[in-house]
Amino acid sequence: MDLLELKGIGVEYDSNGKKLLSLRDVSFSIQSNQFVSIIGPSGCGKSTIIKILLGLLKPSAGTVTLGGKLFDASNLKFSVVFQNPALFPWLDVLKNVEIALEAITDDERYIRETAEKFIKIVGIDGFEEAYPRELSGGMKQRVSIARALATGPDLLLLDEPFAALDVFSAQALREELLDLWESPDLPPDTVLMVTHNVDEAVQMSDKIIVLSPRPGRVLGEIKVELPRPRNTRSEEFYSVVDTVVKLMSSD
């Protein structure tokens, strides 16, 4: 069943008194347990879609439904990871993860155990007492992912989470996130990722939504049915990459 459905979404920003159309007639759906990516050039409105799902922005046109009912961000358990990890510099790693859990429970033992569990899952155990300034970019992003997953979200929103990392850290983190997504007993189950990296989208997604340059509209959807884990050097992989690239330049 569709978890989320966006129908005819339009967004108009007010930019210094001038109307700026950011999204036009955007429709797509996300099913439970799916990994969906949105790809498109800079400024096409990808982060704008994330803002709508976070409940930070009301679209000027169209509807979003959650399980068939009108979407309300307060009815969905979601977490978000941005390109630049938004950690609290004055808190250590453990506290940075615990703070997300403190928002949902006051069971101190549960908070401590869950934070420790996810810190271990993302491979930064041993750094619980380190401060963000003492961590590399990749490690900081691991903390962000631990924090996002610790609360057990139904939907994980990712806004270019690997874009600021070197190629090796990015690849390692992609594979680890996919392992988590594929583990039935661990979050996340459903993921919506925004990216402008075609290889990344093809490696990770069940479905890729391709947006046009601003104002973003859906140029097409591509289902990726390659077996997992995906061989990013196979001919079949390149063939899907090619299909996405062609669709991106079809505008």
Ligand X SMILES: Nc1ncnc2c1ncn2[C@@H]1O[C@H](COP(=O)(O)OP(=O)(O)OP(=O)(O)O)[C@@H](O)[C@H]1O
| Binding residue count for ligand X, defined by CB under 6 A | 14
Q: According to the binding rule CB under 5 A, does residue 171 interact with Mg ion?
A: no
Interface characters, 186-225, with ligand X (x: CB under 6 A)? ----------x-----------------x-----------
Amino acid at 228: R
Q: Smaller CB distance to Mg ion: residue 97 or 219?
A: 219
Pairing of strands 155-159, 190-195: parallel
Q: According to the binding rule CB under 5 A, does residue 47 interact with Mg ion?
A: yes
Q: 194 and 233 in contact (C-beta within 8 Å)? A: no
Is the omega angle on the peptide bond into residue 188 within 30 degrees of 0, that is, cis?
A: yes
Total number of residues shown for the chain = 251
Torsion, Cα of 204, 188, 76, 22 (10° steps): -20
Which does residue 249 touch among ligand X, Mg ion, none (CB within 5 to 8 A, set by kind)? none
Which does residue 45 touch among Mg ion, ligand X, none (CB within 5 to 8 A, set by kind)? ligand X
Q: According to the binding rule CB under 6 A, does residue 22 interact with ligand X?
A: yes
d(Cα 60, Cα 127) in Å, to the nearest integer? Answer: 45
Q: Dihedral sign, CA of 6, 81, 214, 33?
A: negative
| Cα Rg of the chain (Å, integer) | 18
Which of 6, 34, 37, 48 binds ligand X (CB under 6 A)? It is: 48
Q: According to the binding rule CB under 6 A, does residue 43 interact with ligand X?
A: yes
Can you give the binding site for Mg ion, defined by CB under 5 A?
A: 47
Can you give the binding site for ligand X, defined by CB under 6 A?
A: 13, 15, 20, 22, 40, 42-48, 196, 214
